[in-house]
Structure 1
Amino acid sequence: MSNVARQLKELFVPIHEVVYMADEPNDELQALGYEGYWPLYFASRSAPLGKVPAEVVDALFYNFTPGEAAACIPSVWEVASPEEVLAARERGCVKALRRILGELADSPVIARAAELATRAAYNAPAEGRGLYAGLKSLPVPAEPLAQLWHAATLLREHRGDGHNIALVAAGIDGQQAHVLLALYLGMKPREFGRLDPLSDEQLEAVVAGLRERGLVDADDQFTPAGKKLRDEIEELTDRLAAPAYSCLEQHEIDELLTDLGPVLEKINADRPF
């Protein structure tokens, strides 16, 4: 079932990520009064949690540098309420998907995929998954396209919460996780955008910590131990995500993989990078 979790991740994550990759969600959130990307990001992603302190958001998001969450939370709630933000985010994502998918947006394929994805999304265990639990408390949208995006978001955040569990178990903090991902992508740590907030000295300290553990070598490349640990983290992430899909029969999994293929192609073609 862990292999299934990885296969379906490739379908559901791009559907969720229109919230970050398309213009329409940003437009809807900016219409509420948000200026700049990060305030609307922190508002929209943390809105299912309600008005929790920055410390809670920082802990659950896991990989932001100190002070990034506090720069936006709680001030974002002076602009709009969590409920208004959630409604704007969903409107924008549905608009984006309608533009990207065209006639496919109202097809029986979307309605069936929404049914299966929602079943899996609400079958996942919530223990230890704060962002997922917040999303799970929200009403399920009635419109199939909105329901599919909502289910994909639940499954993405459930997997993300599990990934953070795997990172914690491996003793890898948020900034170290960015470094490991950069190396996996063939990049130097300074080339990885999410590490931009760190000064050169701070980044060197992060990398030095990985070197001390024997995970990164003097040339800022994976050691065998580093590659092995990263693979183990990804494998545990898959295992932790897998229970969501235990409610689906093999033919239903095959149906999702087949029917969402054209959806995935259209979404990926629309991505800005």
Structure 2
Amino acid sequence: MTTPHATARRMFDLTEPICLVNFFSDEPNESMAALGFSGYWDGYFAGRSAPLGRVPAEVVDAAFYNFAPGEVARHIPKVWATTTPEAAHAARQAGCVAALRRILGDLVDSPGLQRAADLLTQAATAAPVEGRVMYAALRALPVPDEPVARLWHAANMLREHRGDGHVVALVAEQVDRTEAHVLLAIDAGIHPPETFGRIHHLPASYLAGVMARLRERGLVDEDSRFTEAGRAAKDRIEALTDALAEPPYAALDADDLAELVACLQPIADRLNETGSA
């Protein structure tokens, strides 16, 4: 952790497992279902977009960035006929906290978790909000008092802060919503990249157009793998994402940052053992 970029990447590795319970655990889905949502994606869009309030689909689409055209509009604003943004956020938080309590077990009441929640919240509430739409929306919400809830809320803020920066990096490289998934898939060794789970359901003609544009720009070769230019572009995106994720951690001195890493490590290890499920 000798550079700010390394710090941001290290903290992402430690905090991402905390956030992944929202996607891989049963409790958040059950909480959203209790509000009246019968499908995963209605609950996803309601819970994640809730801090933005009752904004049009176009605003959510812009903030989330990586959903195919029309996907957001199938859920927003429809979900607000079922519940309110306030109830959706509360349900999402309650489900994630319940999942964390189940998985972390004896760590829940440990001094290390309490300290991790305190330090992570200090970092998560310290960064500038300019240009950070999702992060700013979460910053406007009350910080929970209960340690596990505070830990999740802080990790979620940092995840959206990083995500806002990632969108900036993608826009800077002129990589659009679906091209971003293709580059991620290629980087992960998924071949052909069109089979990646986040895009495989999209129309074949649409995906063919995405791949054609990437080839025309010289980022992907005829075998759907990175060219040298494509590899360089992906590396620049990740480097800028890390650089833009740095500001929250400037709020911690070296000793506090080292303590935060030490406190988060057993939490991340326990969550990684289960895949945060």
TM-score in terms of structure 1 length? 0.98
- Which residue of 1 is the match for residue 228 of structure 2? 224
Paired-residue identity, %: 55
Residue by residue, what CA displacement relative to the aligned partner does 1:210-264 show, whole Å, maximum 9, x if unpaired?
1111110011000011001100110000111101100111222222222211111
Q: Is the 8 A contact 1:106 1:145 kept in 2?
A: no
- In the alignment, which of 142, 149, 152 is matched to residue 149 of structure 1? 152
Residue by residue, what CA displacement relative to the aligned partner does 1:96-133 show, whole Å, maximum 9, x if unpaired?
01100001111111110011111110111211111111
Q: Partners of 1:270 and 1:76 in 2: how far apart? A: 31
Q: Partners of 1:197 and 1:45 in 2: how far apart? A: 22
Q: Partners of 2:123 and 2:186 in 1: how far apart? A: 32
- Which residue of 2 is the match for residue 54 of structure 1? 57
Equivalent runs, 1:110-259 vs 2, <5 Å:
110-187=113-190, 188-259=192-263
- Which residue of 2 is the match for residue 265 of structure 1? 269
Unpaired stretches in structure 1, ≥5 consecutive residues: none
Q: CA deviation at 1:196?
A: 2.3
Q: Is the 8 A contact 1:47 1:86 kept in 2?
A: yes
- Which residue of 1 is the match for residue 73 of structure 2? 70
Residue by residue, what CA displacement relative to the aligned partner does 1:138-185 show, whole Å, maximum 9, x if unpaired?
000000110010000000000000000010011000100000000001
Q: CA deviation at 1:82?
A: 0.6
- In the alignment, which of 90, 93, 104 is matched to residue 90 of structure 1? 93
Residue by residue, what CA displacement relative to the aligned partner does 1:44-82 show, whole Å, maximum 9, x if unpaired?
000000010000001111010111111000110111101
Root-mean-square deviation over aligned CA pairs = 1.1
Q: Partners of 1:86 and 1:160 in 2: how far apart? A: 18
Q: CA deviation at 1:197?
A: 3.4
Moved over 6 A (4+): none
Q: Partners of 1:243 and 1:216 in 2: how far apart? A: 33
- Which residue of 1 is the match for residue 6 of structure 2? 3
Residue by residue, what CA displacement relative to the aligned partner does 1:24-55 show, whole Å, maximum 9, x if unpaired?
01101100100111000000000000010000
Q: Partners of 2:276 and 2:50 in 1: how far apart? A: 25
What is the SS of the residue equivalent to 1:194?
coil
Q: Partners of 1:152 and 1:85 in 2: how far apart? A: 18
Q: Partners of 1:131 and 1:215 in 2: how far apart? A: 29
Q: CA deviation at 1:265?
A: 1.4
What is the SS of the residue equivalent to 1:226?
helix
TM-score in terms of structure 2 length? 0.96
Unpaired stretches in structure 2, ≥5 consecutive residues: none
Q: Is the 8 A contact 2:119 2:256 kept in 1?
A: yes
Q: Partners of 1:123 and 1:170 in 2: how far apart? A: 28
Q: CA deviation at 1:272?
A: 7.0
